[in-house]
Structure 1
Amino acid sequence: MSEAETRELSPGAQIRSLMRSLDRATLSTGMAGKDGWPYGSLVMAAVDQDGSPLLLLSDLAEHTTNLKADPRVSLLFDGTAGLAEPLTGARASVLGQVEKIDDDRMAERYLRRHPSARMFAEFKDFNFYRVNVERAHIVAGFGKIHWVEAADILSERAPELEEAEAGIVAHMNEDHADANQLYASVLLGRAGEGWEMTGCDPEGCDLRLDGEVARIDYDAPVRDADETRKALVALVKRARQSDAG
């Protein structure tokens, strides 16, 4: 078992890991003109390489009207699905302020995570947003409850990797589909054939098959394309050794 799998994560790293592993969240906004009554809605989410949540929202949605009046939001990332006792699982409420963005790299990162959203992204009334995280509250089981500030949640940016990400993902899907499948089926125990990579960041990579997503972490953080290549090769070797055993 790798160091990444055995080490105890800090509360901030747990929050970041939870956000990276999920593709949806509950968005809470204060209702405009209704004395700020809380309004919750389901949104499909992605995160940037540092862990900042990314959203694609319609101007016609109630939550967008709300956030235009007050940009403060809360996103609940719920990692309790499938647990017999859901309250033993991890969930995090991430607080921050939304900012409309016009950034092709971040937009493409979101759309690789949610390919069916490409048609909506072309509509004039849909826009991309980033949540500028301020703090978060995580409950990860009995007694594991923490408030965590943004500096301990978000990871350090890796500009060289951000620039190289799209090319790495395309290369893995076009030339190393077998590696993606090994990551999902052998290392993560996920069913199905045809898993594709949707993103990579300093801590790991994201996979998708139809409506399912999966996340695999590296043994150690990476900063650029060469270090990412070495980390991906190491995962393949581990998967093949595990499969042979």
Structure 2
Amino acid sequence: MASEQGIREARGLIRGAISATLATGAGGQPFASLVTPAPAPDLSPLLWLSTLSEHTRHLAAEPRCALLFSGVAEGPNPQTAPRVTVTGLAERVPEGDVAPLKARWLARHPYAALYADFADFGLWRVRLGGALHVGGFARAERIKAAELAPDSAAVAAIAAAEADIVAHVNADHADAVEAIANGLLGAGPGSWRLVAVDVDGCDLSEGNRTVRLAFLAPLSDADGVRTALIRAAREGRARLAPPG
């Protein structure tokens, strides 16, 4: 059984990534490419892929794939970087399900609005299998899919409340969002907006910049999100307050 810390770190890497390495295969030949994922509420990586790309053609013929998500190394040795490799099956998202998931992907990658409507692009989802999490040098453990996935009831509850949470916070608490982004996360001042919420955290966006607030623990409902955002805003304001 994987450790709670390892599972939490692995999910954090997947939730917070703005890029990843995708491994596919064709005719027995492995192939690796850079992709820009965004996690669905249930943690499944979403990929906005062009049919002109070689890796897309690979997935259409052979859906088995892997994704490598990497963090930042603690020093000069790259092996100290936390990372997680997940295996899974890639599938085209059915047309009727594309709109909300595409919006979530664009919330993570707002710059992609310039080409997101090109006819050759489509939304793919990777259904997660197992994972190998490396927390740093000589810290590795395997995580089963059932251990890695967030609680389905919590995912559904927060997904159902997400639109109302985002609308309310942006309309009535813009100062709190700015305090979290600038004061707590150190992203700098700006017209920050809350753009996505899930059981593990939330995404804040300003122009083409996106930053992520990770919750202290997985949440199960809208009240938990409200409490977490209030706490984060208070901490952010305290860090921005002048000394004395």
The answer for unaligned runs of 5 or more in structure 2 is: none
Contact 2:23/2:30 (CA < 8 Å) preserved in 1?
yes
Per-residue deviation, 1:113: 1.3
176, 199, 204: which is aligned to 1:202? 199
Query: Does the C-alpha gap of structure 1 residues 166 and 70 become closer, same or farther in structure 2, counting only changes over 3 Å?
Result: same
Give the Cα separation in 2 of the matches to 1:67 and 1:49.
Answer: 22
Give the Cα separation in 1 of the matches to 2:111 and 2:234.
Answer: 33
AA aligned to 2:223 is D
The answer for unaligned runs of 5 or more in structure 1 is: 1-7
RMSD: 2.2
Task: Spell out, residue by residue over 1:134-160, the C-alpha distance to the aligned partner (whole angstroms, 9 max, x if none).
Answer: 011122212211121111111113212
Partner in structure 1 of residue 166 of structure 2 = 169
Aligned pairs for 1:8-23 (under 5 A) are: 10-23=5-18
Task: Spell out, residue by residue over 1:190-214, the C-alpha distance to the aligned partner (whole angstroms, 9 max, x if none).
Answer: 3342333221111211223445432
Asked if 1:240 is matched to 2:237, the reply is: yes
TM-score (norm 2): 0.86
Give the secondary structure class of the aligned counterpart of 2:136.
coil
Task: Spell out, residue by residue over 1:6-65, the C-alpha distance to the aligned partner (whole angstroms, 9 max, x if none).
Answer: xx952222111011111111111102xxx2211111111100122111111111110010
Asked if 1:68 is matched to 2:60, the reply is: yes
Query: Does the C-alpha gap of structure 1 residues 212 and 83 become closer, same or farther in structure 2, counting only changes over 3 Å?
Result: farther
Give the secondary structure class of the aligned counterpart of 1:161.
helix
Partner in structure 1 of residue 22 of structure 2 = 27
Partner in structure 2 of residue 223 of structure 1 = 220
Contact 1:21/1:213 (CA < 8 Å) preserved in 2?
no
AA aligned to 1:117 is A
Asked if 1:46 is matched to 2:38, the reply is: yes
Partner in structure 2 of residue 4 of structure 1 = none
Per-residue deviation, 1:81: 6.3
Contact 2:176/2:233 (CA < 8 Å) preserved in 1?
yes
Q: Number of matched residues?
A: 235
Per-residue deviation, 1:118: 3.1
Asked if 1:178 is matched to 2:175, the reply is: yes
Contact 2:73/2:82 (CA < 8 Å) preserved in 1?
no
Choose 57-66 or 201-210, whichever is displaced more.
201-210
